[in-house]
Amino acid sequence: MSSLRVETTGLAKADLTLPPVVPGLRVGLFGGSFNPAHEGHLLVAETALRRLELDRIWWMVSPGNPLKDHRNLRPLAERVERSRELVEDPRILVTAFEAAHHIRYSADTVRLVTRRCPRARFVWVMGADSLAGFHRWQDWRAIASALPIAVVDRPGSTLALLSASAARSLSRFRMSEAECARLAFQPPPAWVFLHGPRSRLSSTMLRANASP
């Protein structure tokens, strides 16, 4: 497992602990640096929770995305706190457990949770902007082979459905959006693209506006 050391000052033990699950629980795994978290992220989580008929969303605040510049990355505890300020639905659990396991890549997160919670029904949740670069993720095919995937539409990224390398590679495994509530029960590889309300907010925009 590839590891990453990260500062966990300001985080409680519960923040760094894998959330509890029971057999059969349908859980969406929604990860990101959330630097900062915003309404667009919340919309993705809420859309997946509702449309996929999930029991939980694990909002996983990562130590840092290996594909992004970390020079402007806010402290992990700050990003967790901001995420919690946004979330009101108790079914959406903000967690930083990846830091406790020194996880660097999402594929390692998937290996961890499927090993620790083999009887839960996990779904990987991402925005369509992430789909565009999914083929660049470490072991992305391992993620697609381990869990069904839900891709939620984001402004400017709708065409990723047609143009993304990963979408083309996995095209024959795409489910009809009308059947999305069945996704958690589908053997992988399986994925669905969810259309719906979109927010134009982005972390990049918010960081730029916050700069002096």
Model confidence pLDDT, tens digit, residues 135-193: 999 999 999 999 999 999 987 767 777 789 999 999 999 999 999 999 999 999 999 99
Q: Which residue has the higher pLDDT, 73 or 66?
A: 73
Helix (H, G, I), strand (E, B) or coil at 80: helix
Predicted local confidence at residue 6, as pLDDT? 66
Residue with tokens 């992004």: 68
Look at residue 33 and tell me whether its pLDDT is greater than 60.
yes
| Cα distance between residue 155 and residue 128, in whole Å | 8
Domain boundaries, the chain: 22-201
What are the b/e assignments for 41-79, b being 16+ CB within 10 Å? bbbbbbbbbebbebbbbbbbbbbbbeeeeeeebeebbeb
11, 96 contact by CB (below 8 A): yes
The C-alpha angle 132, 136, 139, rounded to 5 degrees, equals 125
Structure tokens at 149: 């995937």
For residues 111-116, give the mean pLDDT: 98
For residues 69-82, give the mean pLDDT: 88
Structure tokens at 88: 């009101």
CATH number of 22-201: 3.40.50.620
In degrees rounded to 5, what are phi and psi of residue 171? -55, -40
Helix (H) or strand (E) holding 109: helix 106-116
Residue with tokens 């300020």: 85
128, 157 contact by CB (below 8 A): yes
Longest CA span, the chain: 49
Question: Which pTM was predicted?
Answer: 0.89
Look at residue 98 and tell me whether its pLDDT is greater than 90.
yes
Q: Which of 161, 164, 125 is nearest to 42 (CA)?
A: 125
73, 34 contact by CB (below 8 A): no
Structure tokens at 179: 């059947």
